Amino acid sequence: MRTRLHIFVNAADIDPDRLRELLDDAEVQPEKITRPGTLGVYAAIIADDLLGAERLRDLLRRNGVESFLRHSRSASNDEALSAPLSVLRVVTAERGEGGPRHGTTFTLEQACARCGTGARPLGDVLLKAGDVPKKGPVFQTLDHEYFVSDRVRDALGAAGITGAEFHAVRAAAGAEERLPWSQLVAPYALPPADPETSGGIRRQDPCPECERDGYFGTAQSPLELRYSVGREDLERVPDFAVTWEHFGRSNLVEPFEDSVFAQPLIVVKPRAVDALLKLKIRNVAFDPVAVSDS
């Protein structure tokens, strides 16, 4: 596992040339200095050198520049293939609104009656055609739903991958034509992760009835899920599953189209990792999950 440290600054406070000077003064060699984004924030990305990062942040403070530190972690293909479970992560920016907003029908049969957590699409999914990428293998909506191209869907089916359920995407307006995408849903839910040893997760205002929503990732530390699962129970997990924890906050309201549903993370087994790696998808990553025998 490779860990990187991202030191974020505001372009209005310091320009990249001056940041490079402070990096030299802190005796830190950056792997990359990103370009300022739409909000003017950019980052120096360095190797796992916490002392070096703190030296840089101290120099920034002395120069009147506020900074923010974030950890990221990336696994090699071999590490993902050898892990019993991995979280599937889409690394490109989310886009477009999902959920019931454009008329998608949902089933609440296994959902929380109070907040709607656990609601799943029923039949085709409706999205604004303009929100859907023209090309690419995988994307996520702003509602954190996973979508795969027809090529990816067909390849997973041909590989005999289990646990994945696909819902065809249609345009929400106009001709309602079939778009070359499907929402990927995994009905099988894992048990709750170990709250004492898992990392990179925080809770905020979960539903008082189901307590399954209200989970959020943390920018300061990478996601580290840990489970205590017996070998036989692990063998029963399909190639695609989801976390018990749902990220975001659900809100079941009237009219139904205004409802928002927190989403679980998709967790995959090595066979699914192998199938996705063979497709050479660049915008996905895998975060290995630690599993101990219960």
Instruction: Find the CATH number of the domain harbouring 10.
Output: 3.30.70.260
Is 98 found in the same domain as 15? Answer: no
Q: Is the pLDDT of residue 229 over 90?
A: no
Q: How many helices and strands in the chain, by DSSP H and E?
A: 6, 18
Is 104 found in the same domain as 38? Answer: no
Between 197 and 273, name the one with better pLDDT.
273
Is 48 found in the same domain as 170? Answer: no
- Rounded Cα distance between 190 and 246, Å, is 12
Instruction: Identify which of 215, 187, 211 has the alpha carbon closest to the alpha carbon of residue 200.
Output: 215
pLDDT digits (tens, 9 = 90+) for 109-126: 999 999 999 999 999 999
For the chain, the average pLDDT equals 93
Q: What confidence category does residue 254 fall into, taking pLDDT thresholds of 50, 70 and 90?
A: very high
Per-residue model confidence (pLDDT) at position 48: 85
Q: Which of 42, 74, 106 is the last residue of a domain?
A: 74
Is 26 found in the same domain as 83? Answer: no
- The one-letter amino acid at 217: G
Per-residue model confidence (pLDDT) at position 39: 81
The β-bridge relationship of strands 226-228 and 284-292 is parallel
User: What percent of the chain is modeled with pLDDT above 90?
Assistant: 80
The mean pLDDT of 94-103, rounded to a whole number, is 95
pLDDT digits (tens, 9 = 90+) for 137-174: 999 999 999 999 999 999 999 999 999 999 999 999 87
The mean pLDDT of 96-118, rounded to a whole number, is 96
Is 214 found in the same domain as 252? Answer: yes
Per-residue model confidence (pLDDT) at position 14: 96
Per-residue model confidence (pLDDT) at position 175: 59
Is 122 found in the same domain as 60? Answer: no
Is 142 found in the same domain as 112? Answer: yes
- Rounded Cα distance between 91 and 285, Å, is 7
Q: How far is CA 152 from CA 184, 219, 266, 283, in A?
A: 10, 30, 16, 13
Per-residue model confidence (pLDDT) at position 22: 96
Q: What confidence category does residue 95 fall into, taking pLDDT thresholds of 50, 70 and 90?
A: very high
Q: Is the pLDDT of residue 283 over 70?
A: yes
Is 136 found in the same domain as 234? Answer: yes
The mean pLDDT of 41-48, rounded to a whole number, is 92
The mean pLDDT of 18-46, rounded to a whole number, is 92
Is 119 found in the same domain as 185? Answer: yes
Is 255 found in the same domain as 134? Answer: yes
- The 8-class DSSP code of residue 258 comes to G
Is 241 found in the same domain as 179? Answer: yes
Per-residue model confidence (pLDDT) at position 197: 81
pLDDT digits (tens, 9 = 90+) for 189-224: 999 999 888 888 999 999 999 999 999 988 777 888
Q: Which of 49, 74, 99 is the last residue of a domain?
A: 74
Is 223 found in the same domain as 112? Answer: yes
Residue 88, domain extent: 77-292
- Predicted model pTM: 0.85
Q: Which of 15, 44, 74 is the last residue of a domain?
A: 74
Per-residue model confidence (pLDDT) at position 224: 87
Per-residue model confidence (pLDDT) at position 294: 62
The β-bridge relationship of strands 178-185 and 146-149 is antiparallel
Residue with tokens 């778009």: 179
Per-residue model confidence (pLDDT) at position 221: 77
Q: Per the structure, how many domains does the chain have?
A: 2
